Amino acid sequence: MKIFERIVMKNLIILDHPLIKRDLAILRDKRTTGEEFRGVIYRISGLIAYEVFRELRTKTVAIRTPLEKTKGFKIEQQVILVPVLRAGLGFIEGFIQVIPEARIGHIGIFRDEKTLKPVDYYVKLPKNLSKAKVCLLDPMLATGGSASAAISYLKKKGARNICMASLVAAPEGVKAVQIAHPHVKIFTCALDRKLNKKGYILPGLGDAGDRIFGTE
């Protein structure tokens, strides 16, 4: 087995829940309207969040039910969500519904259509990244350039525990991120076939940002 294949097996988590499969099919369909697309993004992102945060640390607390005292649990680990602007914003509402105590940062990176290289233009992050579980949100993991650049920036600012969540990923993007950041787990709903010459994922679902915000 090649080194890359071993890395992928270890760090790429493909979410195969039936409800995720159903919603991804709706998102792929070109007949899905913008309103429907946004609603399904909200729903599927909540399902993704459950899997991403399955291993969060908790602490025991004392609570009182209407009948007696008992033990309960609270999330002990800080969580920071960092959507890559602008498509990553589509994930925020669903993630926050699941983990409302999370703090939110933003990274603005776009892909140059000619060079396919990432260009950053905006960054705003919460403090204490080093103590938090940081989840980078980007629906499309295509070339991996923007994701790798965003992860590098998060590390530069002190983040140590980083993962990434996406809807679909291309093998090229997974490889690029895992070579640059071999300890970062990637959660995705599907590993698609490949990129086309323009850097779009095939079969993909088009430009997620355009479909979310109606700018096609």
Q: How far is 153 from 17, CA to CA, in rounded Å? A: 32
CB 147 within 8 A of CB 175: no
Question: 134 Cβ partners below 8 Å, 6+ apart?
Answer: 80, 82, 154, 159, 161, 162, 163
Backbone angles phi, psi at 82, to 5 degrees: -130, 95
Contact 172, 116 (CB under 8 A): no
Which residues, 6 or more positions from 147, have their beta carbon under 8 angstroms from its beta carbon?
A: 84, 136, 138, 141, 164, 173, 176, 177
Within 10 angstroms of residue 117's Cβ, the number of other Cβ atoms is 11
Tokens 């088009």 belong to residue = 206
Active site residues: 111, 115, 207, 210
